[in-house]
Homo-oligomer: A and B are copies of this chain.
Amino acid sequence: MPKEIAINAFHMNAPGHSWAGLWTHPADRAIDYTDLDFWITIARTAERGLLDGIFLADVSGVYDVYKGSPDAALAAGAQIPSNDPSVLISAMAAATQNLGFGVTASVGYEQPYYLARRFSTLDHLTKGRVAWNIVTGYLESGVKALGDTAVRDHDQRYDRADEFLDLVYKLWEGSWEDDAAARDKVGRVFARPEKVHRISHHGTYFDLDAIHLSEPSPQRTPLLYQAGTSARGRAFAARHAECVFTNQSKKQLTESAVDIRRRAIGFGRHPDDIRIFVGATVIVAPTEAEARDKYEEYRSHLDVKGALALLSGWTGIDFGDYGPDDPVRFVKNNNSVQSKLEAMTIRSADRVWRVRDLADFGEVGGRGPFIVGTPSQVADELLAWVDEAGVDGFNLTRVVEPRNLEDFVDLVVPELQNRGVFKTAYRPGPLREKFFGHARLGPRHPGRAFRYDAHPATVGIPAE
A residues sitting closer than 8 Å to B (CB atoms) are 13, 15-16, 21, 23-26, 31, 34-36, 40, 60-62, 69-71, 74-77, 80-84, 86-95, 109, 111, 113-114, 117-118, 120-122, 124-125, 141-142, 144-147, 181, 183, 185-186, 188-193, 196, 206-211, 213-215, 217, 301, 303
Chosen A-B contacts, 16 in total, with CB atoms closer than 8 Å, are A34-B215, A69-B193, A74-B191, A74-B193, A84-B114, A84-B121, A88-B121, A91-B93, A91-B125, A94-B94, A109-B111, A113-B146, A142-B210, A144-B209, A145-B208, A145-B209
Give the distance to chain B from A321, nearest Cβ to Cβ, in Å. Answer: 19
Which chain B positions have C-beta within 8 A of A24? 185-186, 188
Give the distance to chain B from A451, nearest Cβ to Cβ, in Å. Answer: 19
Which chain B positions have C-beta within 8 A of A208? 145-147
In the A-B complex, the 9 residue pairs with the smallest Cβ-Cβ separation, listed nearest first, are: A147-B207, A77-B190, A145-B210, A90-B91, A71-B193, A34-B124, A83-B121, A84-B121, A74-B191
Give the distance to chain B from A54, nearest Cβ to Cβ, in Å. Answer: 13
Name A303's contact: one of B125, B188, B214 (CB within 8 Å). Answer: B188
| Also in contact, A213 and B81, with CB within 8 A (given A91-B125, A190-B15) | yes
Which chain B positions have C-beta within 8 A of A124? 34-35, 83
Name A87's contact: one of B15, B113, B122, B191 (CB within 8 Å). Answer: B122
A74-B191, A81-B214, A90-B92 known; 14 other A-B pairs, CB under 8 Å?
Answer: A13-B121, A62-B213, A75-B193, A81-B215, A86-B86, A90-B90, A90-B91, A94-B94, A113-B145, A142-B210, A144-B209, A144-B210, A145-B209, A146-B207
Contact A77 B191 (CB under 8 A): yes
Which chain B positions have C-beta within 8 A of A84? 114, 117-118, 121-122
Which chain B positions have C-beta within 8 A of A82? 117, 213-214
Contact A121 B87 (CB under 8 A): yes
Give the distance to chain B from A212, nearest Cβ to Cβ, in Å. Answer: 8
Q: How many copies of the shown chain assemble into the complex?
A: 2
Contact A193 B70 (CB under 8 A): yes
Contact B31 A210 (CB under 8 A): no
CA distance A114 to B60 in the complex (A): 9
CA distance A208 to B94 in the complex (A): 36
| Chain B residue nearest to A122 in the complex (CB) | B87
**Central interface residue in A15, A25, A121, by most chain B CB within 10 Å:** A121
Contact B118 A87 (CB under 8 A): yes
Give the distance to chain B from A211, nearest Cβ to Cβ, in Å. Answer: 6
Which chain B positions have C-beta within 8 A of A217? 34
Give the distance to chain B from A316, nearest Cβ to Cβ, in Å. Answer: 18
Give the distance to chain B from A79, nearest Cβ to Cβ, in Å. Answer: 10
Give the distance to chain B from A275, nearest Cβ to Cβ, in Å. Answer: 26
Which chain B positions have C-beta within 8 A of A196? 70, 74
| Chain B residue nearest to A187 in the complex (CB) | B24
Contact A94 B40 (CB under 8 A): yes
CA distance A61 to B210 in the complex (A): 8
Give the distance to chain B from A34, nearest Cβ to Cβ, in Å. Answer: 4
| Also in contact, A190 and B74, with CB within 8 A (given A83-B117, A90-B91) | yes
Give the distance to chain B from A450, nearest Cβ to Cβ, in Å. Answer: 17
Contact B118 A114 (CB under 8 A): no
| Chain B residue nearest to A80 in the complex (CB) | B213
Which chain B positions have C-beta within 8 A of A190? 15-16, 23, 31, 74-77
Contact B191 A75 (CB under 8 A): yes
CA distance A382 to B125 in the complex (A): 35
CA distance A377 to B131 in the complex (A): 51
CA distance A196 to B181 in the complex (A): 49
